[in-house]
Amino acid sequence: MKSAVRRTHGPEVQGGVGGFAGLFDASALQGLARPLLATSTDGVGTKVAIAQAIDKHDTVGLDLVGMVVDDIVVVGAKPLFMTDYIACGKVVPERIADLVRGIAAGCEQTGTALVGGETAEHPGLLGPNDYDLAGAATGVIDAADVLGAERVRPGDAVLALASSGLHANGYSLVRHIVSGAGIHYGDTAADFGVTWGEALLEPTRLYTKELLGLLKPSTSSGPLDRLGARAPLGGQPNSGVHALSHVTGGGIAANLARVLPQGTWVEVDRSTWSPPPVFRVLAAAGDLALTDTEGTWNLGIGFLAVVAAEAAEAAASTLSAAGIATWRVGTVHDGPLPGGDFEQGAKGVDGGAVRLVGTYAD
């Protein structure tokens, strides 16, 4: 476990692991005109119940990093460091080591230093085999480079970045469907060639390195390049990226609406993609139409990028070449909304309006 954590450390991490607090040398931030710290916290949710059911704990740490670190990337920030928190009914060293190794692997992939954490034993509150997983991360960006709704303009293209599956949202619905269908997580899933539990534990795709690479190619240099984090700082004006949205709880429409300015709207064209088999199989098992799940699952889109129209093709090609299938799903409009139901903002943000239209591709 300690060797996995050490692999996430560059020279900016001071004092190693095990102290009451992690120390991170932030002197490189002095090279930014106006450095802003970005922070995010999240957990893995009820996906951990599936890991516990099949006694497989080495992947949910990757989910945690995806849920926390990629929220920071939404504003264009470079992640610097992360801490984790594991609450359990009983400390089983091998299980804790698997969890932390997964978190460290995600941190290593995203260029984030894992500088500390806490494991708390809560007997009587949690069962011996129960645990919950949460974390927090901090990143940085120059104020002039922050992405967001204020940069978005009518005519911008909306690009979809493919997910790896369910990621870590909507698992209460997943578990309800599986239970109602009489499925056991150890049963072989004919549609997937592995057990149900293994299929449903597919880790969250990590977008950090590819998105920051799109915002600022790794060949460039800047004040933060000497930090041990292995992803470049975002915010290159010529990239054409105006806003990013992480498709987590609430689904595609609600999360895109959060990063659009008031008075704008987008119709996301369902015909531009086919939701992966895991969504179709689960919806069928629950006797649900895919459209019934749009407010819960990502349905194959893990991130959305709002990009200047003239830069959209190049951005999609760059991300696809980096291994993330990317395609255009809509255009930003202003003016009166056409008839129909739109998601208007979300999670306290009074942003733009979004709805999904058309029929999913086969």
Domain map of the chain by residue range?
2-145, 149-357
**Does the structure show a pLDDT above 90 at 290?**
yes
Q: Pick 149-357's CATH classification: 2.40.110.10, 3.30.200.20, 3.90.650.10, 3.60.40.10.
A: 3.90.650.10
In angstroms, the CA 171 to CA 177 distance is 10
In angstroms, the CA 332 to CA 344 distance is 14
**For 353, how many CA atoms within 13 A lie in the half-sphere containing its CB?**
14
Please give the share of the chain, as a percent, with pLDDT higher than 90: 78
**Does the structure show a pLDDT above 80 at 189?**
yes
- Superfamily of domain covering 2-145: PurM-like, N-terminal domain (3.30.1330.10)
In angstroms, the CA 331 to CA 268 distance is 8
Structural contact between residues 31 and 19, judged by C-beta atoms closer than 8 angstroms: no
For the chain, the average pLDDT equals 91
Helix (H, G, I), strand (E, B) or coil at 361: coil
Would you place residue 218 in the very low, low, confident or very high pLDDT band (cuts 50, 70, 90)? very low
Domains 2-145 and 149-357 share a fold: no
Identify the pLDDT of residue 222: 57
Q: Alpha helix (H) ranges present in the chain?
A: 2-6, 47-54, 60-73, 93-110, 171-180, 196-200, 208-215, 251-257, 277-285, 312-321
Helix (H, G, I), strand (E, B) or coil at 151: helix
Structural contact between residues 60 and 47, judged by C-beta atoms closer than 8 angstroms: yes
Identify the pLDDT of residue 238: 46
Q: Which residue from 221, 241, 242 is spatially nearest to 233, judged by alpha carbons?
A: 221
In this predicted structure, which of 99-108, 187-196, 339-348 has the lowest mean pLDDT? Answer: 339-348
- Specify the DSSP class assigned to residue 34: S
pLDDT tens digits along 78-90: 999 999 999 999 9
**Does the structure show a pLDDT above 80 at 225?**
no
Q: Which residue from 258, 265, 254, 253 is spatially nearest to 243, judged by alpha carbons?
A: 258
